[in-house]
Amino acid sequence: MKKVGIIGCGTIGYQIARSIDNRSISSTRLSFIVDSSLDRLEFTKSSLKNDKPKAFSDQDLLFHSEAYKSTDVVIESASRVAVRQYARHILADGKYLIIFSVGELVDEIFMKELESEAVKHTGVIHIPTGAIAGIDAIKSVRNHLDQLTISTTKSPKSLAGAPYFDIYENIRLHELTDRTVLYEGDVRRAVELFPSNVNVFASLALATGNISKIRVRIVVDPNIKVNRHEINVKGEFGSLEIVASNVPHRENPRTSTLAVLSAIEAVRSACNETIKIGS
Ligand SMILES: NC(=O)c1ccc[n+]([C@@H]2O[C@H](COP(=O)([O-])OP(=O)(O)OC[C@H]3O[C@@H](n4cnc5c(N)ncnc54)[C@H](O)[C@@H]3O)[C@@H](O)[C@H]2O)c1
């Protein structure tokens, strides 16, 4: 039986909590939940029927609690800020940490620090597949690829609020009538301009181990109903074309339904996988 703690009880964290509580993910129990919103903590707690996790909105209280100390697997499903706040400590305690706010890991110095804490204290950093597919194949060919391009197309609603629109004030997102390319370039700048939308770019960068080989295109389409990611990889091995057309989650249009399903599968495989499928 694995004890699981969740940091961030929004769209992803709430669904994981429910899946553990209703035993869709077997052999797991919820030990704690964290959220900066007390309302969200209350809402999550009140929707659980079996488990009685301790609830925290304060980092120090969490780290000193018995509920935290006895936890095996921690899920970060909150924000990039939360990755900074919590990840190092959790890995230094030798725990298994699943990180969803992957954009923060594009900072190579920070990522190296986390990795070295994990190695020193036998912790694990697990970066789930999230809203795309094909990470297994991309990892397999990472030392043999010439270039990887990802083109992400989303609706104005899914991109709204990004810092990009503070810089390019002339682009009036909700007045666009045609499909428009907003950005083409490298991953780091994409992460700065669209911080809430770039987890897939960051996951690809980590999977390839070479951020400079990735080209990113971000497109807005007022007529699209899905979040669409098209990935093309070329190299001496041949080529890969991977397309994910994801229905946005009803609670949060920036998060795809596939990401929520991937999150549940990531916890299942972290907690009780006897047969491993895929590389
Ligand atoms: N890897 C992927 O493919 C992928 C896909 C979708 C979302 N994400 C990322 O996963 C994270 C969660 O996504 P979501 O859709 O569930 O978001 P959400 O906004 O629905 O929920 C986030 C929750 O975390 C809480 N929170 C935020 N910062 C916090 C902090 N510092 N401390 C404590 N609580 C905090 C919020 O109050 C909120 O309840 C986001 O960072 C998102 O960008 C990753």
Kindly report, residue by residue over 227-251, the tens digit of the pLDDT: 999 999 999 999 999 999 999 998 8
Indicate which CATH number applies to the domain containing 229. Answer: 3.30.360.10
pLDDT, residue 45, reads 97
pLDDT, residue 278, reads 82
Instruction: Calculate mean pLDDT across residues 240-264.
Output: 92
Which residue's CA is minimally distant from atom 27 of ligand 1? 78
Kindly list the distances between the CA atom of residue 276 and the CA atoms of 267, 269, 270, in Å, as whole numbers in the listed order. 14, 8, 10
Query: Domain for residue 251, yes or no?
Result: no
Structure tokens at 196: 């809430």
Q: Which atom of ligand 1 is nearest to the CA of 82?
A: 31
Amino acid letter, 244: A
Residues 163 and 113 in one domain: no
Query: Domain for residue 119, yes or no?
Result: yes
Indicate which CATH number applies to the domain containing 53. Answer: 3.40.50.720
Structure tokens at 208: 């390839």
Residues 104 and 214 in one domain: no
Cα(189) to centroid(ligand 1), Å: 21
Cα(141) to centroid(ligand 1), Å: 30
Cα(251) to centroid(ligand 1), Å: 12
Instruction: Calculate mean pLDDT across residues 19-33.
Output: 96
**Has residue 273 got a pLDDT over 90?**
no
The residue segments making up the domain with residue 35 are 2-127+258-272
- Chain-centroid distance, C-alpha 35: 16
pLDDT, residue 251, reads 87
Which residue's CA is minimally distant from atom 18 of ligand 1? 10
Query: Domain for residue 34, yes or no?
Result: yes
Chain mean pLDDT for the chain:
94
Query: Domain for residue 241, yes or no?
Result: yes
Tell me the pLDDT band of 198, cut-offs 50, 70 and 90. Answer: confident
Residues 197 and 262 in one domain: no
CA–CA dist 7, 5 (Å, integer): 7
Q: Choose one of 43, 77, 258 to mutate for the ligand 1 pocket test, by most ligand atoms within 8 angstroms of C-beta.
A: 77
Any atom of ligand 1 within 6 Å of the Cβ of 195: no
Query: Domain for residue 208, yes or no?
Result: yes
Q: Choose one of 90, 98, 201, 255 to mutate for the ligand 1 pocket test, by most ligand atoms within 8 angstroms of C-beta.
A: 255
Cα(143) to centroid(ligand 1), Å: 32
Any atom of ligand 1 within 6 Å of the Cβ of 40: yes
Instruction: Calculate mean pLDDT across residues 248-270.
Output: 91
Query: Domain for residue 183, yes or no?
Result: yes
Query: Domain for residue 277, yes or no?
Result: no
Residues 87 and 7 in one domain: yes
Q: Is the pTM of this model over 0.75?
A: yes
Instruction: Calculate mean pLDDT across residues 136-157.
Output: 94
Q: Which residues are catalytic?
A: 229
Query: In terms of Cα–Cα distance, which of 153, 148, 173 is closest to 218?
Result: 153
Residues 83 and 161 in one domain: no
Cβ–Cβ under 8 Å, residues 119 and 184: no
The CA radius of gyration of the chain, in Å to the nearest whole number, is 19
CA–CA dist 164, 194 (Å, integer): 6
Q: For the chain, how many structural domains are there in total? A: 2
Residues 263 and 239 in one domain: no
Q: Which atom of ligand 1 is nearest to the CA of 128?
A: 1
In sequence order, the 6+-apart residues with CB closer than 8 A to the CB of 169 are none
